[in-house]
Amino acid sequence: MSYQDAREAFAAWGVDTELALTALAQIPISVHCWQGDDVRGFEKQQGTSGGGIQATGNHPGRARTPDELRADLEFAYSMIPGKHRLNLHAFYLDTQETPDRDEIEFRHFAPWVEWAGETGIKLDFNPTFFAHEKADDNLTLAHPDAGIRDFWIEHGKRCREIAAKMGAAQGGEVVNNIWVPDGSKDNPVDRMGARRRLEASLDAMFAPAHDRAHLLDAVESKLFGIGVEAMTVGSHEFYLGYAIRNNTALCLDMGHFHPTENVADKLSAVALSVQDILLHVSRPMRWDSDHVILLDDSIRAMAQELVFGGLLQRTRIGLDFFDATISRTAAWVIGVRNMQKALLEALLAPQERLKQAETARDYTTRLVLTEELKDLPYAAIWAEFCARQDRPTGALLVDSLARYQASVTDRG
Ligand SMILES: C[C@H](O)[C@H](O)[C@@H](O)C(=O)CO
Ligand SMILES: [Mn+2]
């Protein structure tokens, strides 16, 4: 179907496709660097992946150096319409030096900052509280040993400083998201002690003030991980309270709740108490398995809540998945484009009409509408969005992804 025909089909429902296309072009997605190398990072001394997160698979083409990762990212962005961001983890530093986590500085990320300036791809940041000998027992900020807590507090402080400097360099806000793996494999007897230690460590880490225009602190909760099945210290309730008390952003990772929970439903609930929200859009399969996101009901529901709830302005959309069984660059492209497609569908919905039916308690009309809307020609609008930004769709996309993958398969 042509764009013009599709545009008329939506106009018949009172929807202006041009407005939707303009809105979609303004939604940045923070692409997670760690899909490119299976969450290994570029420190000279490598630890285990740790923290209950693990990429599985051995597809050829893993980025082994910062240059390879940047090349892969540039290719991925060239397949994705719109202007997006890069979410960098601290252990992706790019330097010949070997600073420990409590010694990293802004200069260790200079090549990334330079690249961001050249490409216009702005950075977000994350401290790395895993893959390190001082995190081997899945305790960092909540560790009973004050020396280990201090080590990680220093890491967190330095990351906040680095992120704030990145923000100053790129002229805007950098999200610095904190996730710690801390928890307990078996039933603990002093949950309160662990949570008090985590709270005190976070307080110490957040004590230095930074310009809010350059730094947005976020905290990420989790239900459980491999090796911390009995308790995660930084649970949802813990961080929801912490974010409210301390005015930080709250990060909701779609893989960090019970598999039957509807994470989209949480957006409007937490938005009443928390100003800024960060999403880690992911696809858990039976557990926090971090599969590449599909254009499925969970993603559609998330996008609809963002749009219908008027939450786009105060939500930063980041992705979090890593699959080493398929082309890593294709994984990025598929995942980001699926998030965009879900947002486009939500932007193309006759929102007021749907809400009117619900307010009038006319649930029959609401149901007829939601089901009939599924037949609208979204693909033609998406194809137009890609065409206007010179991005491929369909067979052309498949060919481009395959060609790039073939060019990196001989990496050792
Ligand atoms: C690498 C990320 O920081 C990590 O995936 C974290 O965000 C997470 O979700 C841990 O389960
Ligand atoms: Mn996450």
Distance 177 CA to ligand 2 centre (A): 9
HSE toward the beta carbon, residue 26, CA cutoff 13 A: 10
Residue 179: exposed, middle, or buried by beta-carbon count in 10 A (0-12, 13-18, 19+)? buried
**Ligand whose nearest atom lies closest to the CA of 223:** 1
User: For residue 145, what are the contacts with CB-CB under 8 A and spacing of at least 6?
Assistant: none
- 274 φ, ψ (degrees, to nearest 5): -120, 135
Task: Give domain status of residue 336, yes or no.
Answer: yes
Which ligand 1 atom sits nearest the alpha carbon of residue 322? 5
Task: Give domain status of residue 77, yes or no.
Answer: yes
Asked whether 93 and 56 are in contact (CB, 8 A), the reply is no
Task: Give domain status of residue 214, yes or no.
Answer: yes
Q: Is the ipTM of this complex over 0.95?
A: yes
Distance 223 CA to ligand 2 centre (A): 12
Task: Give domain status of residue 271, yes or no.
Answer: yes
Query: pLDDT value at position 44?
Result: 81
CA separation for the pair 311, 272 (Å, rounded): 11
Distance 179 CA to ligand 1 centre (A): 7
Query: pLDDT value at position 52?
Result: 75
Query: pLDDT value at position 47?
Result: 58
Q: Is the pLDDT of residue 49 over 80?
A: no
Rounded mean pLDDT of 78-104?
98
Select which of 179, 210, 266, 345 is catalytic: 179
User: For residue 389, what are the contacts with CB-CB under 8 A and spacing of at least 6?
Assistant: 25, 81, 82
Q: Is the pLDDT of residue 344 over 60?
A: yes
Asked whether 221 and 235 are in contact (CB, 8 A), the reply is yes
User: For residue 116, what are the contacts with CB-CB under 8 A and spacing of at least 6?
Assistant: 86, 122, 123, 166, 169, 170
Query: pLDDT value at position 46?
Result: 63
User: For residue 149, what are the contacts with CB-CB under 8 A and spacing of at least 6?
Assistant: 140, 141, 142, 143, 197, 201
Asked whether 72 and 408 are in contact (CB, 8 A), the reply is yes
Select which of 199, 220, 323, 345 is catalytic: 220
> Could you confirm whether 256 is annotated as catalytic?
yes
| Domain of 120, in residue numbers | 27-350
Q: Report pLDDT digits (tens) over 60-77.
A: 999 999 999 999 999 999
Task: Give domain status of residue 367, yes or no.
Answer: no
Task: Give domain status of residue 380, yes or no.
Answer: no
- CATH code of the domain in which 203 resides: 3.20.20.150
Task: Give domain status of residue 401, yes or no.
Answer: no
Task: Enumerate the β-bridge partners of residue 322.
Answer: none
> Could you confirm whether 220 is annotated as catalytic?
yes
What's the total number of domains in the chain? 1
Mean pLDDT of the chain: 97
Query: pLDDT value at position 347?
Result: 98
> Could you confirm whether 253 is annotated as catalytic?
yes
Ligand 1 environment, Cβ below 6 A? 34, 39, 53, 89, 126, 179, 220, 222, 253, 280, 288, 320
Task: Give domain status of residue 14, yes or no.
Answer: no
Asked whether 302 and 267 are in contact (CB, 8 A), the reply is yes
